Amino acid sequence: MFRKNYSDLELLYSFEMYRGKISKLKQFIPNCANKIGCIVMNCNPFTLGHRYLIEKALEEVEYLYIFVVEEDKSYFSFAQRLEMVKRGTLDLEKVLVIGSGKTILSAVTMSQYFGIKYTSESQEKKVS
């Protein structure tokens, strides 16, 4: 299970801390919400398409966690993307926007997603 570079150990240790953080967020979920969903989004940048997907997900659940990918391997930084999603969903009451941590989606858990085509240099060329 563990690799020689110990990245899995770090992943396991941060998992407990992240789980504690998520547990504290349960207080924001209304008691009447029985069907809770979650989506993971990179939002590089946040677009109307992302907003549409969030609205469609809200049609299926009573409360929605939006996990924004926390890696800084996109054109926009994690902080910028998190702020975009928060601002883009301000009017939605049944939504909580938070970072994904390393456990949900990261270069550790899904390295192929963060391959060469997602480096900031390659995205800089596409945006320019």
- Round the average pLDDT of the chain to a whole number and report it: 80
Q: What are phi and psi of 101, to 5 degrees?
A: 65, -175
Global confidence as pTM: 0.72
Q: For residue range 37-70, list pLDDT tens digits in order.
A: 999 999 999 999 999 999 999 999 999 999 999 8
> Is the separation of the CB atoms in 118 and 73 below 8 Å?
yes
Assess whether pLDDT exceeds 80 at residue 102. Answer: no
Q: For residue range 103-116, list pLDDT tens digits in order.
A: 776 666 666 666 65
The sheet carrying 63-68 orders its strands as 36-41, 63-68, 95-99
